[in-house]
Amino acid sequence: MAITRRALLGAGLGVSALAVLGGCNRSSAESNTSDGEIAGEIRFSIWFGSGDIEMWEDVIAGFAAVHPDVSVKFEPLEYDQYYTKLNTQFASGNAPDVLGMQFQSSIWGPSGLLAPLTEAVSGDIGQVPASLTGYGRAAVDGTEEQFALPWRFVGHSLYGNLTALAEAGIERPDTWSLDDLVAAAKKLTTDDAFGLHVPGVSGETSIASTFGASPVSADGLTATYDAAEMIAHKSFLRDLVHVHKVSPGPDVLSTQQDAFASGQVRMAFAGSWSNPTYREGITAFDWDILPNPGGERPAKNYAGPDHIAVYAKSRNLAAATAFVQYAVFHRDAQTLIAATGAPVLNDYLKDAERIASEAALKPAHYEYFIDEATENGTGWTFVPAFAELERLEADANYAIMSDPGSDIPGILADLNAKVQSALDSTD
């Protein structure tokens, strides 16, 4: 989608609000059948991308088959509405029993908003790569607790319109540089289509990494948006719009349809969660994943887990915990979830049969996504203030891309100060 002024994500919950809400309280509303089987109703809320709603409905149906006495009320929300509503629900003490989240465990867990899952998942946690489970842990009184679990592994890749590439005389490259990317984008740009969509926020990672740019320090405590590497990276992106004229500027394309799937752009950095939509919706051209372009430094791939957690004040902790366990550790659930990203079970993540099956559905180079995400994957603002940082950067991107003479160092300096404030508020 085009970069717009509209905030892409809701703001993160402040520490002051969290402190008021502490405490894990098992309500008397939790019920069990006479044989000990869990029962009752739970609410489940999470943001959704392409294909996510149908996938979660199928997961819920599978869970119901295993636990027929539990009713799951599904409350999906648009990503840019999700955290705003969740924060309001936290403040009123009425959050969903099961909730999606990203990298807020170190704040929300110790503050009492999330129920610890350590004991419940102790026998299964080894089935998930340790690199994925760390984001969901936090220390409480010196003891590490597992407050959230990864249910999906997602990432961005460069998607290409192979039909348009072939018509422009461009073969799908095995490797290429940023200069090669720009040259191809120029050949692909026509009166009715742009060659390349400027990536935004997390989608920028594979290009930003070639400049050595990163939004925060490795420990997540210091904002680095004002570094020379970031200035060079953002300048490259702005040049795609105003110098090379191969990418649309803000508000040029409608956000009501996917720019790549609709053919308005011939190459675009998109999330793996778009695969189901592309598979069903793209019929006018052939498409695939293209390799990340290289620069002064090797390209990295934006990749990281999406999490699921249990609200500490859930009225049905047993059923809520069971739903999380089903979504993460049950092979049937992970088979469904894999359609929108990568599964998190070790024995399924790189299963050759699964990869071949995904590749047959497209993208043909699906294995490239898995390899890059697991071997060269890196986070982009993977900190507790994740949502706020992404919102702030989206606003800065709008200012940068809107004006060919925009003061990139000044905009990034202002962004850096705001991001540092957000980081400090979550210490």
- Read off the pLDDT of residues 34-72 as tens digits, 9 standing for 90 and up: 345 799 999 999 999 878 999 999 999 999 999 999 999
What average pLDDT is seen over the chain?
A: 89
Q: Which amino acid would we find at residue 90? A: F
CATH class, range 156-302+380-425? alpha beta
Tell me the per-residue pLDDT of 372-412, one tens digit each, with 9 for 90 and over. 988 888 887 788 888 889 899 999 999 999 999 999 999 99
Residue with token string 């059923």: 319
pLDDT score at 36: 56
Q: Which residues of the chain have pLDDT under 50?
A: 1-35
CATH number 3.40.50.2000 given to 15-153+304-371: no
- 8 A C-beta contact, residue 130 and residue 344: no
Enter the DSSP assignment of 267: E
pLDDT score at 169: 97
Domain ranges of the chain: 15-153+304-371, 156-302+380-425
pLDDT score at 369: 92
- pTM check: above 0.85: no
What gap in Å lies between CA 157 and CA 152, rounded to an integer?
16
Phi and psi at 267, nearest 5°, equal -140, 140
- Assign 3-class secondary structure to 382-415: CCCCHHHHHHHHHHHHHHHHHCCCCCHHHHHHHH
pLDDT score at 427: 54
pLDDT score at 23: 37
Tell me the per-residue pLDDT of 190-223, one tens digit each, with 9 for 90 and over. 999 999 998 888 899 999 999 999 999 988 899 9
Fold: same for 15-153+304-371 and 156-302+380-425:
yes
Query: Angle CA(194)–CA(196)–CA(201) in degrees, nearest 5?
Result: 130
pLDDT score at 378: 85
